[in-house]
Amino acid sequence: MTINLPSRLRELWNRPGGEAAGRSAQVKEEPAKRAGDTEQNGLPPHLLAALTCTFALTVTYLFAGAAHALQLTDDRGVVVTLAQPPQRIVSLLPSLTETVCALDQCQRLVGVDRYSNYPARVQSLPQVGGGLDPNIEAIVALQPDVVLVATSSRASERLRGLGIAVVALEPKTHADVQRVMLKLGTVLGVADAPKIWRAIDAGVSAAAQSLPARVRGTRVYFEVNQGPYGAGESSFIGETLTRLGVKNIVPAKLGPFPKLNPEFVVRANPDVIMVGLRSEEGMAQRPGWSGIRALREQRVCVFDAEQSNVLVRPGPRMAEAARLMAQCLADKAPRTPNTAGAKP
């Protein structure tokens, strides 16, 4: 399973027109003593008119260029100025790669990190290493207008020092996914970004509405990696589980992706377990785990690598992730959830 998540989980799995305006404001017009006075103006009327027209067009051009300039504040609090919508983009986080493509701008990507593999067309792009420690020389050689990185990337300052615009964005919640999509929509000049987000959000709601009433209240444990590390209520995975109407056994107070004491899961006694293929190996052999209801009654959903990528990336495939979870719950949730929770 390829894991590309917020930094905590990933460790586991033209100048502006103001100057031109200022200068033009200092020009004071002095009326001629009489019409056509070439001595006053110093130039023949027809040439003066031509130069005036040229000056006006130049100022108009400067202001038009400034109108295309964009300033945004990224997730590190850095103000980034782009002279115009970027045409050559390097993305160093799979969820950002997917978001660019969800905005129908895949053609602007010229390079990606080694984990970006969706949609299929990005697999043919040059890979520039990992998101945390990418190959700087390879990125520079691609001549990007902007590089999209996670806030945890250690490459940001080096790239900025080389004069390359860097935007750090790292979605960690459903609200973050929306914010990042709308911000990238602004950067790329995509007016449909809000509509695309609404379709994604509606897809999550539809997945929840598809579930039978018996699923509500089912106690779920979602393991993101062996350790064990679980998806807490405050994570984007936990938020999806909440919208599906089930109970996450990992409370928000433990953090988004906490490392758990194995005994905690035993005592919580979940009805259903969701886990990736690699993490599932040996789960039943963990001390005390064979007695967990989900394992005892074979109510475990094991996701393959491709499905796991959908589930663990906080990006535009959120609705697909919700459908995967909903299908798991429809298939595996017991008719009588363990409302008592922990074992006695």
> Per residue, what are the HEC states of 197-234?
HHHHHHHHHHHHHCCCHHHCCCEEEEEEECCCEECCCC
- Greater confidence (265 vs 54) lies with 265
Q: Which fold has domain 212-332?
A: Rossmann fold (3.40.50)
Give the up-direction half-sphere exposure of residue 201: CA atoms within 13 A in the CB hemisphere: 14
Bridge partners (DSSP) listed for residue 325: none
User: Mean pLDDT score of the chain, rounded to an integer?
Assistant: 84
- Of the CA atoms within 13 Å of residue 128, those in its CB half-sphere come to 30
pLDDT class of 341 with cuts at 50, 70, 90: low
Listed in order, the ranges of the chain carrying CATH 3.40.50.1980 are 7-12+75-191, 212-332
CATH numeric code, 7-12+75-191: 3.40.50.1980
Question: Which residues in 7-46 are b (16+ Cβ under 10 Å) and which e?
Answer: eebbeebeeebeebeeeeeeeeeeeeeeeeeeeeeeeeee
The better pLDDT of the pair 338, 316 is held by 316
pLDDT, residue 340, reads 53
pLDDT score of 122 more than 80 = yes
Q: What's the predicted TM-score (pTM) here?
A: 0.79
Report the range of poorest mean pLDDT among 23-32, 163-172, 202-211, 315-324: 23-32
Among all chains, which residue has been given the structure tokens 């390359």? 164
Return the structure tokens found at 175: 């609200």
What are 237's two structure tokens? 């995975």
| Residue 179, amino acid | R
Determine the pLDDT at residue 104: 97
Give per-residue pLDDT as tens, 218-254.
Answer: 999 999 999 999 999 999 999 999 999 999 999 999 9
How far is it, in rounded angstroms, from Cα 177 to Cα 120?
21
Contact (Cβ atoms closer than 8 angstroms) between residue 221 and residue 250: yes
Tokens of 250: 């990992």
Running DSSP on this structure, what letter comes out for residue 166? E
Residue 136 identity:
I
Q: What angle do CA 65, 67, 70 make, to 5 degrees?
A: 100
DSSP of 29-44, one letter per residue? ----SSTT-HHHHSS-
pLDDT tens digits for range 7-53: 445 444 433 333 333 333 332 223 333 333 333 334 454 443 443 33
**How many residues comprise the chain?**
344
Q: Which amino acid is at 310?
A: V
For residue 162, name the pLDDT band (cuts at 50, 70, 90).
very high
> Which residues are CB-contacts of 6 (< 8 A; sequence separation ≥ 6)?
150, 152, 170, 171, 172, 256, 314
pLDDT score recorded for residue 66 = 46
pLDDT digits (tens, 9 = 90+) for 294-333: 999 999 999 999 999 999 999 999 999 999 999 999 999 9
Question: What is d(CA 185, CA 145) in angstroms, rounded to the nearest whole number?
Answer: 16
pLDDT at 209: 97
| Structure letter (DSSP) for residue 127 | B
59, 25 Cβ separation under 8 angstroms:
no
For 77-172, strand residue ranges (E) read: 79-82, 89-91, 109-112, 146-149, 166-168
CB 56 within 8 A of CB 39: no
